[in-house]
Each structure stands twice: as C-alpha cells, then as structure tokens.
Amino acid sequence: MFLMEINKLFIIFFFFFLINNVSITWSYTVFSPIDNYLVNCGSSVNSVINNRNFIGDPSATIATKLGSTFVDEEENPNPSLNLLPLHHTARIFTKPLIYLFEIKKKGTHLVRLHFFPFNSQNFNLSSALFHVSINGYVLLSDFNGLEGENNRKNPILKEYFIWVEDSKLEIEFTPSEESNLGFVNAIEVFSAPDDLIADTAKFVNSDGNKTIGGITNQALETVYRLTVGGPKVTPFNDTLWRTWSPDDEFLQSSETSQTVHFGGRIKYQNGGLSREVAPDNVYSSARVLSNTNESTLNDNITWILPVSVGYKYLVRMHFCDIASKVLYDLYFNVYINGNLAYENLDLSELTRMLASPYYADFVVDADNSGEITVSIAPSSSSSPERISAILNGLEVMKMNNTMGSLDGKISVGSIVKTPRGSTGVLVALVACTSLLVAVVAIMYRKRAMEHDSVAWSPLPTDASKGNQPESRKFLFF
Ligand SMILES: *[C@@H]1O[C@H](CO)[C@@H](O)[C@H](O)[C@H]1NC(C)=O
Ligand SMILES: *[C@@H]1O[C@H](CO)[C@@H](O)[C@H](O)[C@H]1NC(C)=O
Ligand SMILES: *[C@@H]1O[C@H](CO)[C@@H](O)[C@H](O)[C@H]1NC(C)=O
Ligand SMILES: *[C@@H]1O[C@H](CO)[C@@H](O)[C@H](O)[C@H]1NC(C)=O
C-alpha cells in the first residue's frame, strides 16, 4: 500500500554545479544569490535570458516510474514575439511531480513559476487543472495556467517569497482528479538578499496601528509591483530581474497630481536600503502633489488595487525625494483603506539626503470590498507652493491564510497525497553530497535493471532531441 503510493511520485532532483557561472556587465556589484536554480522545464537545452542561464531539466537527476508521461521538448507550435524561449517548452505531468532543490542558505527565497498553456501536439493544455504546493504551503489550487480572463496570449509569472529553514525546498505539482493533467514551463528558485523582506511591519486598521512581527515566516505572493509615474521597468533593468508595471490603471484622478522624473544619481547609502530592494529606475520617477494654494492642500493622490478577500496583505511603499529643492521641505500623510497609516512622513529626517530611497511596510486586511486603497495627502506640516506628497513605487504581497494557503481555504494535506514516509527519504537524499547521490543513483539503477528490466530503463548518457521520453526514466526508490 505504502509502496504503491510512493510509486505515484516522480521526483526531479537538482544538483547543478555550473549554475553560478553567470557574468553580467553592470557598473555596480551585481547581486549573486547563494542558491540559484533556473530551470527550463521540459527542454533538453539551456536558455539564456538577461544573462541568466536556465538549465534544461533533463540535466537534473530524474526519477520516474513507468506509466508516467514526461514530454520533453514539447514545442509550442505558435510561438509569438511576446514569448521567451522558456515558453516554447513545458514539462507536462499526469501524476504528481516534485522538484526538489537543495538549499544552502537559510532564509527567504524567491520562487517564480512560469506558465504558458500552448496547444501541444499530444496534450490539450487548455484542459489542465492542477495544484502547486511548496514546503507545506498551498501556492495554487485548481490552477489552469491562466490569470483570470487571460486569453492565453500572455504567459503567466507567479512569484513567491518562501522562508526556508532546512536544507531543501520542495515544489510539488499535483494534477486535479478531474483533469489529470498539469504543466510548468520554467522555475526560478534563488536566495533573496538579506534585507529584502523585513520581519516587522505596521498593522493598519480602523482600531489603530500596531507593529507586528513574523513577516518573514509567512509565505508571500507578489500581487502588484508598480513603478509610480514612470515607464515599465523590465527585468533587464532590475537587480532581481523583476518587472515593475506602470501605475496608471490604478490611479484615481487628482487635480494637483504631477509626475516627476529625475536624471541624477539615486543615493543608496551605506546602512540604508540596497539597490536590491528596488532599482534606480523605480526611484527616479514619482507622482507628487504640488500645491498652488491653500485650497489644494485638501487634495490627495489615491491608488485602488483590487485584491481577493480573506487574506492579509503586505503593502510596501517606496519613497525617494527627487522633487524637493532643499531638505526639510516635504511632509505628508499616508492612508491605507482610509486609515491613517503614517502621519507626517518626513523623508529628510529619515534619509538626511535628497534622492535617497526609503520604504515603509504596512500590513492590512483586504476590505470587504475586495480593494486596497493607498493615498498620500498633505499633513499639518505641509505648506502651499511646495511639494506636499510623493510616491515612487508600490508593492502589494498576499500573505498565506491560517490554513497555510495563498489560494483558497485548502490545506496542503488535502491536495498532496504524498505519504509522510517518503518525505524522510527525500530529506536523507538531500543531505548527501552530489557524489553520494550519484553513487546511490547508480546503485539503484543497477538493481532496477536486474529486478525489473521491463519497467525501467536507464538514463541515456547522450540525451539528444527526439529521444523517446520513455528512455529518460530513472529509478529513485
Ligand atoms: C481543449 O480543452 C478545452 C477546455 O477543456 C476545450 O474547450 C477545447 O475544445 C479543447 N481543444 C481541443 C483541440 O481538443
Ligand atoms: C533600461 O533603462 C534605461 C534607462 O532608464 C532605458 O533607457 C532602457 O530602455 C531600459 N532597457 C530595457 C531593456 O528596459
Ligand atoms: C482623497 O480625496 C477624495 C476626493 O476629494 C476624498 O473622497 C477622499 O476621502 C480623500 N482621501 C483621503 C485619505 O484623504
Ligand atoms: C501562514 O501559515 C503559517 C503556517 O501554516 C501560520 O502559522 C500563519 O499564521 C499563517 N499566516 C496567517 C496570516 O494566517
């Protein structure tokens, strides 16, 4: 019984050696994560995007059981200009599939999952429906690889922040019972800079505000990442390969709001926040309230962001005073969901320099209306004929609910059928050095060939395009 359950598992185990050999020609120190796994799923070739090398997953150690369907090199028949090479292939699964990553650095890790349900020759990816979980958290349930009404023209990128305590990060994909089909096009797992996610934030609600801790231990999902008043910032120009979208579609009209752009250097200070928190391009544009007389001191700038109810959200506001002529000229209030979140924000006092970045983190419950509203408005210290409020960037991250889920009232236990016992085996393997893993793998492979030569076949040494997927099976248990 127990063994039968294990047999349903397919495990892909990564231990890359060459993955950190990425050279980037930037004028400043480039962030280089200690853990850095970039996987081009379902492809036997590597794909370099913005100087990052996505490794084809057949180069990982693969363990599968016969009866599975792995489709390597499944090509998208209608690639468009909009697509990265990553979206041309997918790993398609009809049984649970695990990607297991060895983690060297304890702490927050960024996890990005790329999905694009193209029309494959052998599978109708439009009928896929699956769950994704990671280290005990539900990331996606009954997911079809699309975003809302997305008409399958645009690939989907899901991004998460996951705290990793042990030496492994395990992403489990489980096809739903109705569809028995799922897919993934690419996976990124890398350690986050230490200062990216702060552990405390100000919880804002109508009963008043209080500082809360334990933020880093939550699973977070990026819902919005906006650059305010400026053009889209692409992964090419971001220190962590993020995309910052323009804020226009969330902005409420305001009489005295203006955009400002700054051509000078953004001053990241020692001991202050780093370029990895947000890049220069985000801080060098902003929206400001510029008052011309006393009456416009009642104005504000408001953004309205639709969110799912039933979750708390981490709201990060990025500020950088690129608009004032002198220090101590700008004071303003911040409101979230109509509640005063920060009174008399004084960037000069906080950074002691103009054009120096600062951020503030707030936690809020989603309104019953399903929106988060963020406003900046003049404070009692603001004066007319000066800038009286500024915002440069805005990020909103969903926090896991009490069931440990980011996608509905569902727990990992109810979607993942993996027997607890097999997890122990995985942990034991992760603890091994890669050499040991290879030895163990060869041992098992030998045994498999002796005992079960029909059901199992070894990994070909020279895996090339067009091989039968069946020839890629590799015994794990
Ligand atoms: C693929 O699946 C979708 C959704 O189940 C269905 O509407 C569509 O007709 C299918 N396409 C083909 C070619 O079978
Ligand atoms: C990167 O940023 C520079 C300066 O803002 C801009 O001119 C350039 O177009 C950006 N490149 C990409 C690929 O977004
Ligand atoms: C912002 O201005 C609008 C329109 O004047 C007003 O309805 C709203 O209450 C203001 N919000 C804040 C937080 O001051
Ligand atoms: C997130 O999940 C953890 C572990 O399941 C739980 O302790 C925590 O309370 C959850 N967070 C929220 C905001 O409910």
Last residue of a domain, one of 399, 426, 445: 399
What is the pLDDT of the chain when averaged over all its residues? 80
Distance in angstroms (rounded) separating the CA atoms of residues 97 and 104: 23
Residue 79 lies in a domain: yes
Using DSSP's 3-state secondary structure scheme, residue 16 falls into coil
Q: Does 6 fall in a domain? A: no
Can you spell out the DSSP letters for 288-330? EEE-SSGGGGG--EEEEEE--SSSEEEEEEEEE--S-SSSS--
What residue owns the CA closest to ligand 1's atom 13? Answer: 124
**Is residue 88 one of the residues assigned to a domain?**
yes
Q: What is the CATH number of the domain that holds 312?
A: 2.60.120.430
C-alpha 47 – ligand 1 centre gap (Å): 30
Q: Which of 97-106, 217-226, 287-296, 365-374 has the lowest mean pLDDT?
A: 287-296
Average pLDDT on 394-411 reads 96
pLDDT classification of 217: cutoffs 50, 70, 90: very high
Ligand 3 lining (C-beta closer than 6 Å)? 300, 302, 335, 338, 375, 377
Place 154 in a pLDDT band, splitting at 50, 70 and 90. confident
Does any domain span residue 5?
Answer: no
For a ligand 2 pocket test, name from 25, 27, 234, 280 the mutation site with the most ligand atoms within 8 angstroms of its C-beta.
234
- Of 366, 381, 399, the one marking the end of a domain is 399
420-450 pLDDT, tens digit per residue, is: 333 333 332 333 333 333 333 444 443 333 3
For ligand 3, atom 3: residue with the closest CA: 300
The answer to whether residue 210 sits within a structural domain is no
Contact criterion met (CB below 8 Å) for 244 and 404: no
Ligand 3 nearest-atom number relative to CA 373: 13
Residue 179 has pLDDT above 50, yes or no: yes
Tell how far the Cα of 405 is from the centroid of ligand 4, in angstroms: 8
Instruction: Give residue for tokens 């098992």.
Output: 444
- Its pTM stands at 0.83
When mean pLDDT is compared across 59-73, 136-150, 372-386, the lowest value belongs to 59-73
First-residue to last-residue Cα distance in the chain: 15
Q: Which of the listed residues 298, 300, 337, 391 should we mutate to test ligand 3's pocket, taking the one with most ligand atoms within 8 A of CB? A: 300
Give residue 298 CA to ligand 3 midpoint distance, Å.
8
What per-residue confidence (pLDDT) applies to 431?
31
Q: Is residue 19 part of a domain?
A: no
Q: What is the pLDDT of residue 440?
A: 38
Cβ-defined contacts of 233-238 (< 8 Å, 24+): 233/279, 233/281, 233/282, 235/49, 235/50, 236/50, 237/279, 237/281, 238/279, 238/281
Residue 221 has pLDDT above 70, yes or no: yes
Pocket test for ligand 1, best of 127, 130, 146 (most atoms within 8 A of CB): 127
The residue among 399, 418, 451 that closes a domain is: 399
Number of domains present in the structure of the chain = 2
Q: What domain range is 251 assigned to?
A: 220-399
- Dihedral (CA of 231, 236, 242, 243) sign: positive
Is residue 193 pLDDT above 70, yes or no? yes
Cα angle: 144, vertex 149, 154; to 5 degrees? 75
Q: Determine the Cα–Cα distance for residues 376 and 363; give it in Å rounded to an integer.
A: 17
Residues with CB under 6 A from ligand 1: 124, 126-127
255 falls within a domain:
yes
Q: How far is the CA of 372 from the centre of ligand 3 (A)?
A: 14
